[in-house]
Amino acid sequence: MREEKVTINLLNWLESQGWSIICYDFPQSGTGLMFHPNPNVNQNEKNKGGIIPDIIAIRGSIAVYFENKDRFVKSDFDKLKEIKLLKNYSDGLNELLNKYRIAKIYYGIGIPSVTKEIDKSKEYLEDVDFLVSTDSDGNVMIHHDINAIFTTAS
């Protein structure tokens, strides 16, 4: 399954669960929002270190930030862990979410429902707040949701 299909399935699922989509991106489309590192983060080139989330959605006072892939990619786990812990993109994220009164942002991964890819991803759950997968029919499975953000209303 291509990354675009993963993203489409997750967008549909999030909306069906009462989430509002703030922004999204398809690979190589140039349609997403780019966030640059905070000014105190070393940056030599205009887009160096820029990030484009695949999906940002909100429900109540909660925001979710998705990186989606067509397979397990360790660097996405590393990137989300860095964004979450170092808060080096907080200025741009806060500016985007400011009018929504967001209390907490959670970071996670969306991948196809392929056992091999899910199993690899599960080795790095400590780096993300959630891991979800989707199949070709659009069904979404939650594999990790330590804060119960997808199972409780916000």
Q: What is the CATH number of domain 3-39+47-145?
A: 3.40.1350.10
Question: What's the pLDDT tens digit per position in 28-80?
Answer: 776 788 888 888 765 444 445 788 999 999 999 999 999 999 999 999 999 99
pTM: 0.90
Q: Give the torsion sign (CA, 117, 123, 125, 128).
A: negative
List pLDDT tens digits, range 104-123.
Answer: 999 999 999 999 999 999 99
Q: How far apart are CA 39 and CA 8, in angstroms?
A: 33
Residue 25 has which token pair? Answer: 């991106």
Beta-strand pair 55-59/62-68:
antiparallel
